[in-house]
């Protein structure tokens, strides 16, 4: 059972302000990191110059300004959007299923989106505009398949059953995806780099994901209070006038849209949806009215910093960002699983 102990409402603005400060610092750090030796002070001045109604001469050469604007800035922004979407989707799934281990990666949403996106890449000549739609269909299908498989064990299975169902669905969909890849060998490098995660797609990827990110984020945020009501049980929610099935469907669709949008532009990046919401609950309490917005902000900061590590830990080469999140998330998942089992017993 998720920790639903609510903290005082007056603490929320402080948590949001602190999270925004961490996000701002992580984005500045993301702009600073890279192989090109640009002065940190000049980077900060240039970042300030990009703000509306601010004009500051950073002293950077045109080629250095171009590097920051065309490469580093969109990469940082894409990482922030994708991280925020994955973390908030994870929190939404956890609220819908009332399961602390629910996550886009573990529930089959990412694998489903990955399969349909791979199908589009392999079969459609110009797949850019069709990728988000295909990813959304795959994400919904993956989650529903995992949930249906988990329900076959009945209520006695609990958390472990849903996790095992998600792992089984993910493995099955990944196997199909691998099979499909063999039909277009010349696209293998592109597909594998996408599978391991990449937020370096540039401004085009950012403009592609923003509409879907806006719709899914607003939809999830407005359901925060409803998820708080659902956390006390369906009977109690019905007594309070909340239609549990309708709320679950709306949150499920919004979380799947967020997952699909993230997967479409960045590939398969795991564990963000588990790590960030659990840290938020430990720090700020279990109310979804604060968990959802803080997961959005915290997920953005988390993935920006993960991408910074990916770019710098073996510089001048780069690690796939998905490898970094797996290194962080896998032991975290084990810890959460052990805490969940201890609580259930």
Q: What is the pLDDT along the chain (345 residues), one digit of tens a residue?
A: 444 444 444 457 788 899 999 999 999 888 887 666 677 788 888 888 888 887 888 778 888 888 888 888 899 999 999 999 999 999 998 988 887 778 888 788 888 888 888 888 777 766 566 777 788 888 888 888 888 887 776 555 555 677 788 888 989 998 898 888 777 766 677 677 767 778 877 888 898 889 999 999 999 999 998 888 888 777 777 777 778 888 888 998 899 889 888 888 888 888 899 899 999 998 888 899 999 999 999 999 999 999 999 888 887 778 888 888 988 888 887 777 777 666 555
Tokens representing 263 are: 């997967």
The string of DSSP codes covering 36-75 is S---HHHHHHHHHHTSTT--------HHHHHHIIIIIHHH
pLDDT for the residue numbered 10: 45
Rounded (5°) CA angle 260-28-309: 65
Contact 89, 262 (CB under 8 A): yes
What 8-state DSSP symbol labels residue 3? -
Q: How many angstroms separate the CA atoms of 225 and 129, rounded?
A: 34
Contact 107, 274 (CB under 8 A): no
Tokens representing 152 are: 């076959």
Pick from 19, 159, 154: which is nearest to 103 by CA? 159
List C-alpha distances in Å: 156 to 4, 95, 106, 124, 236. 22, 19, 20, 44, 21
Pick from 271, 116, 270: which is nearest to 191 by CA? 116
Q: How many angstroms separate the CA atoms of 84 and 345, rounded?
A: 33
Fold assignment, 74-344:
ABC transporter involved in vitamin B12 uptake, BtuC (1.10.3470)
Contact 191, 181 (CB under 8 A): yes
Q: How many angstroms separate the CA atoms of 200 and 307, rounded?
A: 10
Q: What torsion do the CA atoms of 40, 44, 50, 51 make, to the nearest 10 degrees?
A: 170
What 8-state DSSP symbol labels residue 4? -
Tokens representing 250 are: 């709306």
Q: How many angstroms separate the CA atoms of 344 and 328, rounded?
A: 25
- pTM to 2 decimal places: 0.84
pLDDT for the residue numbered 313: 85
């Amino acid at each position: 059972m998720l920790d639903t102990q609510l903290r005082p409402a007056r603490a929320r603005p402080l948590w949001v302000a602190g999270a925004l400060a961490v996000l701002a610092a992580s984005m500045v750090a993301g702009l600073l990191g890279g192989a090109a030796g640009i002065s940190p002070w000049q980077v900060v001045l240039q970042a300030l110059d990009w703000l509306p109604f601010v004009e500051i001469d950073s002293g950077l050469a045109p080629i250095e300004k171009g590097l920051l604007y065309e490469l580093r800035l969109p990469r940082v922004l894409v990482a922030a959007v994708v991280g925020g979407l994955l973390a908030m989707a994870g929190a939404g799934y956890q609220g819908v299923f009332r399961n602390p281990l629910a996550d886009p990666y573990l529930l089959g949403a990412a694998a489903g989106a990955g399969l349909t996106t791979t199908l589009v890449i392999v079969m459609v000549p110009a797949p850019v505009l069709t990728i988000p739609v295909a990813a959304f269909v795959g994400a919904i299908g993956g989650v529903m398949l995992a949930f249906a498989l988990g329900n076959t064990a009945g209520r006695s299975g609990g958390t472990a059953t849903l996790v095992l169902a998600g792992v089984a669905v993910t493995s099955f969909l990944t196997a199909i995806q691998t099979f499909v890849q063999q039909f277009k060998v010349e696209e293998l490098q592109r597909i594998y780099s996408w599978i391991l995660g990449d937020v370096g797609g540039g401004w085009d990827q950012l403009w592609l994901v923003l509409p879907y990110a806006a719709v899914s984020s607003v939809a999830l945020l407005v359901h925060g209070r409803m998820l708080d009501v659902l956390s006390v049980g369906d009977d109690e929610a019905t007594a309070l006038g909340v239609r549990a099935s309708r709320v679950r469907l709306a949150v499920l669709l919004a979380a799947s849209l967020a997952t699909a949008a993230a997967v479409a532009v960045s590939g398969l990046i795991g564990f963000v949806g588990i790590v960030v919401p659990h840290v938020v609950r430990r720090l700020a309490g279990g109310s979804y009215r604060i968990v959802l917005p803080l997961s959005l902000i915290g997920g953005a900061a988390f993935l920006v910093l993960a991408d910074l590590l990916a770019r710098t830990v073996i510089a001048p080469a780069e690690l796939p960002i998905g490898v970094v999140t797996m290194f962080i998330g896998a032991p975290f998942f084990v810890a959460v699983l052990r805490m969940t089992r201890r609580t259930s017993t």
